[in-house]
Amino acid sequence: MTPVIEAQELTHSFGKEEQRVIAVNGFSLHIDAGELVILMGPSGSGKTTLLALLGCLLRPTSGRLRLLGKEVSTLSSGSLAQLRAETIGFVFQSFNLLSALRAWENVALVGDFLLQRPVGVRARAMELLEQVGLGHRVDHLPADLSAGEKQRVAFARALLNNPPIILADEPTANLDADNRAVIADLLRRAADQQSVSVLVATHDERLQDWADRILRIEDGQLRDGT
């Protein structure tokens, strides 16, 4: 079976010459459909840079990246944006909801990025919010939602376009224990029920219980796990 995410010797460095910092250094990984992988490492270890590389937000300095069997390193920035909209759902540490939009609009917004907006986006956004337990909060603005609710809206947003990949950056860092479990359950369910490949970058050890595999990163290199 072709891995959904397949990275070979991914390297990314910032700066030039003497000031060069290698954030990710020859990192290889593969994630299959329906797998939930936790990427652990201390702050500054290169977790976020790796996530940005896998999410096609950064171009690798060297190495190869294939998503759904397709080489993406050579795509134009417009094609990468399209790929992100169609293929990847993002969950951010700070939720990153748009303050001017209601909960359901935040979820439905990503439908606008597709070349052809699918029909029934609003209904799908409502359905997803219902699934994450926010059916009663669909018309609320982010400012009126708790941290846990915001992250659940962000999770619903990540699922709107039925992406085969979810990349989550410290999704539980700003949440209490109850909400942490809710978000971890949602990620697990997405992997199990919708065969989504989930990669979670975190330094929260308690999330390990939900993972299929754990990768450890240090100084931009894979230290443990395969």
Partner 1 sequence: MRTFRIILGIGLDLLLFGLLVPGATILGGKRLDAVFFPSLSLDHLFFDLTGIALIVWGAVWFFLAARLLITEGRGFLTELFGFRISPVPERLVTRGPFAVHRHPVCIGYLALLAGLSLILGSLGSLAVGIPLLFALTYSYLRLFEEPGLQKRFGSDYRLYAGRVPLFWPAKRRRIPLAFRNLHGDRIRFSVNVLGVSFAILLICFQLSILKGTRSQITTYIDHTGADIWVMQQGVDDFIATSALPRKAVQDLEKLDGVDRAVGIYAVYTLLKTNRVKSRVYVIGYDTRSGDGGPWKLGRTLPHLKNSRELKDNEVLLDQDLAQRHRLEPGDTLSLFGRTFTVAGLTLETMSIGSQYAFLSREAFGRIVPGGEFSFTHILLWKSKEIPDDVIIRRIEAATRLTGLTRARLADNMREFLGMFMLPLLMVGVVMGFLVGCITIGITLYTSTLERFREYGTLKALGATDRYLYGLLLRQALFSLSLGTALGFGLALLADHFINQWVPGMTAGLDVAITIQTIVAGLAMALFSTALPMWRLLQLDPLEAFRA
Tell me which residues touch partner 1 (CB under 8 A): 48, 51-52, 55, 57-58, 76-79, 81-86, 88, 90, 92-94, 96, 98-101, 105, 108-110, 112-117, 157, 169-170, 173
**C-beta closer to partner 1: residue 83 or 181:** 83
Q: How far is the CB of 163 from partner 1 (least distance, A)?
A: 10
Closer Cβ to partner 1, 105 or 212, answer by number: 105
CB of 87 to partner 1, least distance (A): 9
**Which is closer to partner 1, CB of 99 or CB of 226?**
99
Tokens for 205, please give them: 């050890």
Task: Identify which of residues 73 and 212 has a Cβ nearer to partner 1 in the complex.
Answer: 73
Q: How far is the CB of 226 from partner 1 (least distance, A)?
A: 25
> What's the CA gap between 225 and 223, in Å, rounded?
7
Q: Distances in Å between the alpha carbon of 93 and those of 57, 74, 140, 200, 203?
A: 16, 29, 20, 11, 12
Residue 226 C-alpha from the chain's centroid:
19
d(CA 175, CA 180): 6
Cβ 122 to partner 1, closest distance in Å? 9
Q: Report the residue number, 68 or 212, with the smaller CB distance to partner 1.
A: 68
From the CB of 97, what's the least distance to partner 1, in Å? 8
Helix (H), strand (E) at residue 65 = strand 62-67
- Report the sign of the C-alpha dihedral through residues 157, 159, 161, 164, in that order: positive
3-state secondary structure of 66: strand
